């Protein structure tokens, strides 16, 4: 396999730290794009980004911008989360981040696993890791 081809298929470990809607939207877009190219993707959300993996993500800073994005024909956060689910992308919500944000485990998006950094590192072993 050529070096360029190997790099293209290298997995992506995405760490979401920011609770800013635009950063989360970009992260989900990046993950969906990588998966569409056949790359394995793992998403880990912690700190202020924890609401991104909750059923109700309206606590993200600037969440109101989603309506504007959708009105302009850009995929909204719900659509992107559906795409991540269709690609069967593993999503891990940081247990410590969940506790620090006073969020409830029963409010986590279906299919999201609650775990820690070690679990993310194991799942993303050999992947390119990007933090947003």
At residue 62, the pLDDT reads 98
> What would the pLDDT profile of 40-64 be if each residue is shown by its tens digit?
999 999 999 999 999 999 999 999 9
In the sheet with 128-131, reading across from the earlier edge strand, the strands are 113-115, 91-94, 41-45, 12-16, 128-131
> What would the pLDDT profile of 88-119 be if each residue is shown by its tens digit?
999 999 999 999 999 999 999 999 999 999 99
- Quote the pTM value: 0.93
Kindly list the structural domains of the chain, giving each domain's residue range(s) and its CATH number in brackets, ordered by start: 22-131 (3.40.1260.10)
């Amino acid at each position: 396999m050529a070096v360029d081809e190997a790099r293209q298929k290298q997995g992506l470990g995405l760490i979401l730290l920011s609770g800013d809607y635009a950063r989360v939207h970009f992260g989900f877009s990046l993950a969906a794009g990588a998966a569409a190219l056949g790359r394995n993707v793992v998403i880990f959300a912690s700190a202020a980004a924890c609401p991104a993996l909750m059923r109700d993500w309206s606590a993200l800073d600037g969440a109101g911008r989603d309506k504007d994005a959708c009105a302009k024909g850009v995929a909204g956060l719900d659509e992107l989360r559906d795409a991540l689910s269709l690609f069967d992308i593993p999503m891990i919500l940081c247990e410590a981040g969940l506790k620090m944000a006073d969020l409830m485990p029963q409010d986590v998006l279906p299919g999201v696993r609650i775990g820690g950094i070690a679990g993310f590192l194991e799942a993303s072993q050999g992947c390119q890791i990007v933090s947003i």
